[in-house]
Amino acid sequence: MARPIRRVITGHDAEGKAIVVSDAPATFVHSNPSNPEWNSTDIWRTDGMPVVVRAQHGETTEGARRQMPTKNGTVLRINNFPPESDVAGTMDVAAARKAFAALGNEKASTFGRGGRHPLMHRTETIDYALILEGEIDMLLDDVDVHLKAGDIVIQCGTNHAWVNRSKAACRVAFILIDGKFDEELGGHFNQA
């Protein structure tokens, strides 16, 4: 079960003074049906650049679950990764694609097209990944990078997977920023 994440949202009153608009747990929580300990909480989403700063914003995480930000948008999400189970290890290509389809991004899955792990994927984003608690491995095409609490990854649209090989849960904050692949990269991989 997902641990609630306190979300404090500020804004402005009628006189333009800074106020707290909301101080409550984030409302958008998605749990993996095969393992509820594998979950994510969307904290905030934006839908354009520059972001329009309003006196008070409505709820930005309503709507369908989606992995990616909207065009020119961002997503702030906290993911909880339990220790890797046999679920990912037994996924075939169809199951891997189905898992990403449930996130609204089936085409991101690269398993069966060069990805060496069922959860390998590539997105047209720049992602800031801040390891908050625990340990996790980032798998790239030919290398694994072991990360611990306090480490930060700037993930630049590369083929990757997150695998928790430890015995305890790992919590990671992700800030996804919509991007566009450089035309030079187009010849190196196919997003289809």
For the stretch 105-124, pLDDT in tens is: 778 888 888 788 888 999 89
Q: How many domains does the chain have?
A: 1
- pLDDT of 192 > 50? The answer is no
Asked whether residue 3 is assigned to any structural domain, the reply reads no
Decide if 171 is inside a domain.
yes
For residue 146, being part of any structural domain is answered with: yes
- Confidence at 191, pLDDT banded by 50, 70, 90: very low
In a domain, 109, yes or no: yes
> What is the phi/psi pair of residue 52, to 5°?
-80, 120
Task: Give the length of the chain.
Answer: 192
Torsion sign, CA atoms 136, 139, 140, 143? positive
pTM (two decimals): 0.86
Per-residue pLDDT band at 187 (split at 50, 70, 90): low
The answer to whether residue 71 sits within a structural domain is yes
The amino acid sitting at 95 is A
| C-alpha to C-alpha distances, 37 to 73, 149, 182, nearest whole angstrom | 28, 19, 36
Q: What is the pLDDT of residue 87?
A: 55
pLDDT at 17 over 80: yes
Q: Which residue has the higher pLDDT, 155 or 94?
A: 155
Q: Which tens digit of pLDDT belongs to each residue from 113-171?
A: 878 888 899 989 999 999 999 999 999 999 999 999 999 999 999 999 999 999 999 99
The pLDDT-based confidence of 9 (bands split at 50, 70, 90) is: very high
What is the residue range of 60's domain? 28-181
Q: What angle do CA 158, 80, 165 make, to 5 degrees?
A: 70
Domain membership of residue 22 (yes or no) is: no
- The CATH number covering residue 154 comes to 2.60.120.10
Q: Is residue 7 part of a domain?
A: no
Is residue 123 classed as helix, strand or coil in its secondary structure? coil
Which residue shows structure tokens 């849960």?
A: 169
Asked whether residue 14 is assigned to any structural domain, the reply reads: no
